[in-house]
Structure 1
Amino acid sequence: MVNSSSHPCIKDGWFREISDKSFPGQAFTLAVDSILYQAQSEFQDILIFSNKVYGTVLVLDGIIQCTEFDEFAYQEMITHVAMFAHSNPKRVLIIGGGDGGVLREVAKHKGVEEITMVEIDSLVIELSRKFLPTLSNGAFDDERLDLKLCDGFKFLEDIGEAGAQKKFDVIITDSSDPDGPAEAFFQERYFQLLHNALNPDGIVIMQSSENIWLNLNYLRDLKNTAKRVFPNTEYCYTMVPTYTSGQLGLIVCSNNDSIPLIAPQRSLSGREQEQLKYYNPQIHSSSFVLPTWADKVINK
């Protein structure tokens, strides 16, 4: 039995994810077999514990970020929906993603020449490599990686002010939820910064923080915010058991409104598909199909 005083989110041996703002009236709980690490970094509260079903669990500021058991459902979809919607991605930018999962998936694309990753909290990288090594699977040692330890919002502002000649083909925003320091990543100003850093045929994808069962109007507003900047904006989702209600939305955008984001533009080789556990061309397209009641709100 874990001492209830060991962490504010743990009581009587159970981790409790509670957010009155994001999912009022409900909570998600997991049994804690052992606490592997807990501390307050310069930027956030970090908790890592083990669970018999889900393996090692990474929690930031009381919200589950990933588990060994189901992380691939998120990492693969937030990466490959954008990567395969692009015909030939060469330069990729990852904002956040300190656990290394998105980096692992981007590195599977052999045609990619440069991967820039911007993470504000170096401790998340260090701890993920120690306690969750399968997430990055050695990708932090990839020679194409340019790792920058700084704020993602500020990074985009700086390259915009510098009038960067080299822009990105794909930008993946793997940020925390908008409760606290990540709030700026869900505003129109951020979408504008993404727009400025993207090549004309580039594609942006970001986690939406919500799903259709929790806050449908928020998703409608977030998509509309993105659409004020990007003429081509769509919403899709992935299924992840340890995210509240088991689903997480993704906002996908492009400067080019002729790109069919809902369909992959490149086919997977047999070797590529063998490396993937969740993503395939069929699920790429079907993830954009919403139930009638949700489609009316988000897409109409």
Structure 2
Amino acid sequence: FFEVSSGASIRGSMTLLDRVLWTSVLVVFVSGLFNFIIHYVLGLQHLTCLGGLGTVKPLVEHQFARDVSYVFSVTQQLEKMTTKYQLVEVFAHAYLGNILVIDQSVQITEKDEANYHEMMVHVPLAYMPKAKKVLMIGGGDGGAVFRALQHDHIEHAALVDIDMRTMREISRKYFSMLYQAYTDPRTVAYSFDGAEWLEDQLADEANHGTYELIMADTTDYGAASSLFTDHFYAGLKRLMHPETSILVLNVDSPSWNMDTVIGVQRQLSTMFKYAYIYHTHQPTFLSGHYSFLFASNNIDPMTAPIDWSEWHRKKIPTYYYTPEIHYASFMLPAMVSRHLTMSGRLSSVTTFP
């Protein structure tokens, strides 16, 4: 009896195992068929980031040169508008906050825009504690101008953006902190193509030598072709203060677009005595690595003294920038520095914080 019962139990167990096995096979088959239909028949990608069908489609930024995509599981599309100049979108994200996207390229997020804007502004202004006038070409979100106006010695900020009215409204609705650049009485905003505005300014010699800091912040290096020519840079140079002035450009990722970074540095080194690349960590940009170019005829960022007591006097709240980060940003990876005409060296630094 024991053996019969045991045998019956074994046969019953085998039947149960067979059912489990076949059920598992069926589940795998159905899952594979479902994914095939979704990905190849319906063309829906990144389904796992959707949280199921019927939810908000994820924001996907694709870097074609490297064939890499970043996927943001956004909770809502807050804005989408096609202007005369660009496609502007704003998305909400649970961790990153609001995300500004222009022509399908992430520009800023509330979470880490400070990494970018603080480095673009505080690095050059640390050398010029008495600077009074700044010029921003592009940067219509207001982030860089907002940071510049945190320096109490700045008396005038000119902001020139080809789609300024759109960007001002986007900033007002979704990036209220940056919008303070527009409400500050020291700001004068121009809705102009940067290259055309520059030619208009240069026509009046009274404008020559006006600005201590000039920044060019474009959506993508190479996209606005009129802003990346020797003629344009030469024009900006004529607007720079002859004794103390700096030009800062946003460039590209040193990790993924090294040729662009090298090319820009070499181009500007033929026009300025000092042309240094400095970099920052930008987690929400493709590669997470970004760079700027520091150009000047009278300020060498490695040897020019910085009055750090003056920096601390201002008590500017920062999220990313510190005096230590300031110098560290000029120290570049060997894969980049070996190809540049000049690059930062720690041994050159004369004033530590």
CA distance in 1 between counterparts of 2:73 and 2:59 reads: 6
Kept in 2: contact 1:99–1:125 (CA 8 A)? yes
Are residues 1:53 and 2:53 paired?
no
Match of 2:28 in 1: none
Aligned 8 A contact 1:116 1:147 in 2: yes
Aligned-partner SS, 1:150:
coil
Q: Secondary structure at the match of 1:164?
A: helix
Residue in structure 1 matched with residue 331 of structure 2 by the alignment: 289
Offset from partner CA, 1:221-246 (integer Å, 9 cap, x none): 11111112112111001111111111
TM-score by length of 2: 0.76
* CA deviation profile, 1:161-215 (whole Å, cap 9, x unmatched): 22234511100111110353x222222222111111111121010100x222112
Q: Deviations over 1:49-89 (max 9, x none)?
A: 11111110000001001001011000100011111122421
2:293 alignment partner, one of 241, 251, 268: 251
RMSD: 2.1
**Aligned residue type for 1:233:** A
Q: Which amino acid aligns with 2:340?
A: I
Map of 1:266 onto structure 2: 307
Q: Given the superposition, is the C-alpha separation of residues 19 and 105 from structure 1 closer, same or farther in structure 2, using an over 3 Å criterion?
A: same
Give 5+ residue unaligned stretches, structure 1: 1-7
Judged with a 3 Å threshold, the aligned counterparts in structure 2 of structure 1 residues 9 and 120 are, in CA distance, closer, same or farther, namely: farther
Write the mapping of 1:32-51 to structure 2, written as runs, cut at 5 A: 32-51=74-93
Structure holding more helix per residue = 2
User: Unmatched 5+ residue regions in structure 2?
Assistant: 1-43, 51-56, 343-353
For the residue of structure 2 that corresponds to 1:242, the secondary structure is coil
Paired residue secondary structure (1:135): coil
1:271 Cα deviation after fit: 5.6
> 1 or 2 for the larger relative contact order (CA 8 Å, sep ≥6)?
1
Q: What's the secondary structure of 2:126's corresponding residue?
A: helix
What are the within-5 Å matches in structure 2 for residues 195-206 of structure 1? Answer: 195-200=237-242, 201-206=244-249
Corresponding letter in the other structure for 1:186: F
In structure 2, the partner of 1:171 is: 214
Matched, 1:275 2:314: no
Please state whether the residue corresponding to 1:294 is helix, strand or coil: helix
Moved more, 263-272 or 70-79: 263-272
- TM-score, reference length from structure 1: 0.89
Paired residues, what number? Answer: 286
Identical residues among aligned pairs (%): 28
d(CA) in 2 for partners of 1:255, 1:220: 19
Q: 1:183 to 1:215 in 2, by over 3 A?
A: same
Q: Which has the larger radius of gyration?
A: 2
Alignment equivalent of 1:193, drawn from 235, 238, 256 = 235
Query: Could you tell me whether the CA contact under 8 Å between 2:150 and 2:316 is conserved in 1?
Result: no
Structure 2 distance, partners of 1:251, 1:48, is 28
> What's the CA shift for 1:16?
1.1
Identify, as 1 or 2, the structure richer in strand. Answer: 1
- CA shift in 2, pair 1:92/1:264, >3 Å: farther
The Cα of 1:40 is off from its aligned counterpart by 0.1
Find 1:17's aligned residue among 61, 71, 87: 61
SS of residue paired to 1:171? strand
Equivalents in 2 of 1:51, 1:10: separation in Å?
A: 17
Write the distance in 2 (CA, Å) between the matches of 1:215 and 1:158: 33
